Amino acid sequence: MKTISVVRNVLEANDRIAEMNRTLFDEHGLFVINLMSSPGAGKTTLLEKTIDALKDEMGIGVIEGDIQSSQDAERIAQKDVQVVQINTGGACHLDGNMIRDAFDSLDLSLLDLLVVENVGNLVCPAEFKVGEDVKIMILSVTEGEDKPAKYPLMFRESEVLLVNKIDLIPHLDIHLEDFRTAALSVHPEITVFEVSTKTGEGLEGWFDWLRSRVGTPRAS
């Protein structure tokens, strides 16, 4: 008897499409980030600040993933960069095929950096590749330092963790250094930046990391 695992099959089909996306991104010399977090950790605000800081240095595009609504894409569109909204219609994550559908709406030849803002969710997005070079996570300090132990896959899959909203630390019963310790305990190689997307504190390190990874932009 042949048994087909539906879940494995779905993941393998997705991996195949993600690989095709990745090939296309590579042909365009594009650095692609899959940006993940809980709802409300600050993904869109991070993108706004990042675009403000770097859009004169490199071509930036954004794919916004949400269950429904286009509020985030509208915020990003204010920044005068290429942006596409994907509404997953209930699905808890983006996948390779949804990203493929967004290609028609983007001129990849003008981009150096493409950020895919995933659905706010600490579980499902970690399992579905979209064709990214790296996965990056944001964790708000208000979520608590127990999150890496409770949602380890996403922290293990991510190359960079931004610990956000550090301006709120004085008002919480929590120590900032505990977040770094907790993240390193599930992923010893993860790069951690402590930031506030509200005040701008700590963001310079993140911008420098991005500059080093995007390499020589086509714009320059």
Provide, rounded to whole angstroms, the least separation between the CB of residue 69 and its own copies: 5
Q: Rounded distance, CA 193 to CA 171, Å?
A: 20
Q: By rule CB under 8 A, what string of x and - marks binding of each residue 60-79 to its own copies? A: ------xxxx-x--------
Quick check: 19 binds its own copies (CB under 8 A)? no
- Residue 63 one-letter amino acid: I
Q: Rounded distance, CA 209 to CA 191, Å?
A: 10
Give the residues across from 36 on adjacent strands: 137
E-strand stretches of 38-112: 60-66, 82-87
Provide, rounded to whole angstroms, the least separation between the CB of residue 1 and its own copies: 18
Q: Rounded distance, CA 54 to CA 62, Å?
A: 13
Quick check: 4 binds its own copies (CB under 8 A)? no
Site for its own copies in 135-174 (CB under 8 A): 140, 142-144, 146-147, 149-153, 165, 167-168, 171-173
Q: By rule CB under 8 A, what string of x and - marks binding of each residue 39-58 to its own copies? A: xx------------------
Q: In this chain, which of 8, 80, 90, 188 binds its own copies, going by CB under 8 A? A: 90
Q: Which is nearer to its own copies, 13 or 153 (CB)?
A: 153
Q: Rounded distance, CA 97 to CA 100, Å?
A: 5
E-strand stretches of the chain: 31-37, 60-66, 82-87, 113-117, 134-140, 160-164, 191-194
- Kindly list the residues in this chain that would bind its own copies in the complex (CB under 8 A): 6, 38-40, 66-69, 71, 90, 92, 119-124, 127, 140, 142-144, 146-147, 149-153, 165, 167-168, 171-173, 198
